Amino acid sequence: MLEILSTYRNEIIYTIATVVLLLIFQFILKKAAHRKGLRNEINITRTRLMFQYINILIILIAIFLLAFAWGADLKELSLIFSSVFAVIGVALFAIWSILSNITSGVILFFSFPYKIGDKIKIHDKDAPIEAVIEDIKAFHLHLRSSEGELITYPNNLILQKPVSLIQKNVYLDEGKDNL
């Protein structure tokens, strides 16, 4: 055991330092997302979704740094990562709308001025929508029309259309039953 520790001493120290620094970085990112969520009164489930995105980012960075620490050459790592991202890019090109909705979900988390319970109007020339925001998911919004119809609206479209606020937090004003 001592032989292994002495042989790989530098790698073990670098691994421990990397893990500690990434955990601190992850804590800072999660704390910032949580603070932003509290400040803007964002639903906790949306904040938890941001936590999952932060975890994925930290894992990818950790894989890269730890592979480099344990002897992978920078050229080998760049070849592996570029190959993986090329394959993923080609595979995801077929489902680009999912990626755009996820990206839009992240943008909505940080800059969407409307909250759950707000009554909004989406100014779409073909099919204008006036409804209450019931939930904001990673891929779409759940909107409830005055007729009780549930409308699922993609996140990427909500960023492309003009939206106006009709009434702030309908649930507090009227109660959830009287939409």
Which of 94, 129, 158 finishes a domain?
A: 94
What letter does residue 123 receive in the DSSP assignment?
Answer: -
Indicate whether 8 belongs to any domain: yes
- C-alpha 82: how far from chain center: 23
Whether the per-residue pLDDT at 8 is higher than 70: the answer is: yes
Q: What's the CATH code of the domain at 120? A: 2.30.30.520
**107 in a structural domain:** no
- pLDDT of 131 reads 93
Higher-confidence residue of 174 and 76: namely 76
Domain carrying residue 53: 2-94
Tell whether 104 is covered by a domain: no
Closest CA to 159 of 144, 130, 145, 139: 139
Note whether 118 and 74 are same-domain residues.
no
CA distance to 47, 84, 92, 176, per residue, from 35 (Å): 10, 34, 32, 28
Q: Are 136 and 46 in contact (CB under 8 A)?
A: yes
Q: Is the pTM of this model over 0.75?
A: no
- Counting other chains too, the contacts that 68-77 makes at CB distance below 8 Å and 24 or more residues apart are 69/11, 69/14, 69/15, 69/18, 70/11, 70/15, 71/11
**Same domain, residue pair 6 and 77:** yes
Query: Nearest to residue 146, comparing CAs of 165, 161, 129, 163?
Result: 129
Same domain, yes or no, for 7 and 82?
Answer: yes
Is residue 100 in some structural domain? no
Query: Do residue 84 and residue 119 come from a single domain?
Result: no
Residue 132 inside a domain? The answer is: yes
In total, how many domains does the chain have? 2
Are 127 and 89 found together in one domain?
no
- Please give the C-alpha separations between residue 119 and each of 44, 136, 145, 157, in angstroms, as whole numbers: 20, 13, 9, 17
Amino acid at 104: S
Please indicate, yes or no, whether residues 78 and 130 belong to a single structural domain of this protein.
no
Amino acid at 59: I
Answer yes or no: do 8 and 61 share one domain.
Answer: yes
Q: What is the pLDDT of residues 145-172, one digit of tens each?
A: 999 999 999 988 888 899 998 988 876 6
Q: What is the mean pLDDT of residues 114-125?
A: 89
Bridge partners, residue 140, by sequence: 154
- Residue 179 in any domain: the answer is no
Q: 38, 65, 94: which is the final residue of a domain?
A: 94
